Amino acid sequence: MATQGMQDAAAESTRLPAALPFGLPAASYLGWELGSRVTAEEGVTARQTWEHRDSGRTLTVYDATEHTVILGVRTPAGRERFFGAAAVDLEPRLARLEAADDWRRRR
C-alpha cells in the first residue's frame, strides 16, 4: 500500500536523534539548507547549547518565533540536522537535559 509507505517515511524523517534524552510529538525535519538559513536570519537567537559528553554531539535551541523553536543537532564531524517544533512542546523536556548525566549546558 503506497500510502502507508509514505506515512512511514514521513514519521521516520521527524524522529529526533537517539542521543537526545527526549522526543517531541510534532517535530518537523528541516533540510540543512533551510535550517541553516533560518537560524542565520536576523532576529533568530540561539537560546541554549548543550554538549553530549560521550559522543561530542551538540544541540542548539534557537528561538525562531514567539511560538516556534529550531533544534540544531551537530555531530563531531560537523554534520548538522535541523528540526522545527512548538516551543510549548519543548519547554517541559528541557528539564530532561538538565537532569541527564551525559549532557552539559555550554555557558
pLDDT at 25: 85
Each residue of 41-79: pLDDT tens digit?
988 889 999 999 999 999 999 999 999 999 999 999 999
CA 8, distance to chain mean position in Å, is 20
pLDDT band at 14 (very low <50, low <70, confident <90, very high): low
3-state secondary structure of 33: helix
Q: How many CB atoms lie within 10 A of CB 77?
A: 6
Q: Is the pTM of this model over 0.85?
A: no
Domain regions of the chain by residue span: 26-105
Each residue of 15-27: pLDDT tens digit?
888 888 898 988 9
Residue with cell 524523517: 13
